[in-house]
């Protein structure tokens, strides 16, 4: 795949070794740890780019995480290499595509473990409610710009559909990595309780930030299983915030996302998972919606695989 022509400052890589406290008892690194590294790389490259021209200083805030695929588990002792590249800019947003590789430091062998797409919005350092214009990037071909614009329009449409579902706007958030890591841990607990086996994150479907979490808020993270296929489990995760400081106390929905987990044997092979028991019409509706996402994702993976084999 060809990418836009960008300056060296529009491509970065961060690396670190995976430690025991990054992983579960089976030695697999938590998906939340990887998500945090992905977001940090995206925030660095976006903030650098948005401050590359003279003008008002700003910080890039995460507005949306598109579907994130976990292609292979990362293990304790491996080095995680996260590379981020700006692939599209609109007037007020930056698209960042991220790849993660695991390196065996004994042999030097590397493999791709994750791919993700994130969208950032630059906010003024003096007024975080003010959105700053993004410096444009150059494209080698107009086709690349057109493809980027289509991705921008598609994610914008999905954000509007999410707003209609939840009654909330999608807002940019600064430093959301800790929240994303906690969400993955909650989803992992739900999946582990259901399967009673070792589980790993397979994908994350669109993390949406509905409202900012203010200082002093107490957050409650909850998860519920919505769908099971033969070898995967979809868990919907919510982050609710309670305001304890100020004139009014309220609880509001801050973040939501769908996590997909797979069950693994002791030797790392996928296992069948117990099927979800449906007891109400609402659960049946959520199951059918999850099935739709599963089939859509499966079709996309097959199309991507076919595209790679034809190259």
Known catalytic residues are: 24, 184
- 252: Cα within 13 Å, side-chain hemisphere: 16
> Residue 62 burial by CB count (10 A; 0-12/13-18/19+): exposed, middle or buried?
buried
The rounded distance, in Å, linking the Cα atoms of 130 and 92 is 11
Of the candidates 226, 204, 212, 203, the one whose C-alpha atom is nearest the C-alpha of residue 280 is: 226
Helix (H) or strand (E) holding 104: none
The rounded distance, in Å, linking the Cα atoms of 225 and 260 is 10
Dig out the tokens for 295 from the structure.
Answer: 């089939």
The rounded distance, in Å, linking the Cα atoms of 41 and 62 is 11
Distance of CA 220 to the CA centre of its chain: 19
CB contact at 8 A, 68 and 24: no
Helix axis angle for 177-195 and 31-50, nearest 10°, is 160
The rounded distance, in Å, linking the Cα atoms of 149 and 96 is 13
Dig out the tokens for 25 from the structure.
Answer: 């008892």
Cβ neighbours of 253 (radius 10 Å): 15
């Amino acid at each position: 795949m060809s990418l836009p022509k960008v300056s060296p400052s529009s491509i970065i890589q961060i690396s670190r070794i995976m430690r025991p406290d990054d992983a579960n008892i089976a030695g697999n690194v938590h998906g939340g740890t990887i998500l945090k590294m992905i977001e940090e790389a995206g925030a660095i490259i976006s903030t650098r780019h948005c401050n590359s021209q003279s003008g008002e200083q700003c910080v890039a805030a995460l507005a949306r995480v598109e579907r994130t695929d976990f292609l292979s588990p990362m293990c304790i002792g491996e080095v995680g290499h996260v590379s981020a590249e700006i692939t599209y800019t609109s007037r007020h947003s930056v698209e960042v595509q991220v790849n993660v590789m695991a390196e065996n430091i004994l042999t030097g062998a590397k493999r791709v473990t994750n791919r993700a797409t994130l969208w950032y919005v630059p906010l003024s350092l003096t007024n975080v409610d003010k959105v700053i214009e993004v410096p444009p990037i150059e494209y080698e071909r107009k086709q690349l710009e057109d493809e980027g614009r289509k991705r921008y329009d598609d994610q914008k449409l999905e954000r509007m559909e999410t707003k209609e579902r939840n009654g909330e706007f999608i807002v940019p958030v600064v430093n959301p990595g800790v929240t994303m890591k906690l969400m993955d841990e909650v989803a992992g607990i739900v999946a582990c309780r259901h399967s009673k086996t070792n589980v790993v994150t397979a994908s994350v479907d669109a993390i949406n930030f509905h409202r900012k979490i203010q200082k002093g808020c107490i957050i409650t993270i909850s998860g519920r299983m919505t769908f099971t296929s033969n070898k995967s489990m979809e868990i919907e995760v919510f982050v609710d915030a309670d305001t304890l400081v100020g004139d009014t106390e309220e609880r509001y929905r801050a973040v939501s996302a769908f996590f997909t987990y797979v069950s693994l044997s002791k030797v790392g092979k996928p296992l069948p998972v117990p099927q979800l028991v449906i007891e109400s019409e609402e659960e049946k509706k959520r199951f059918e919606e999850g099935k739709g996402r599963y089939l859509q994702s499966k079709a996309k993976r097959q199309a991507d695989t076919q595209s790679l084999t034809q190259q």
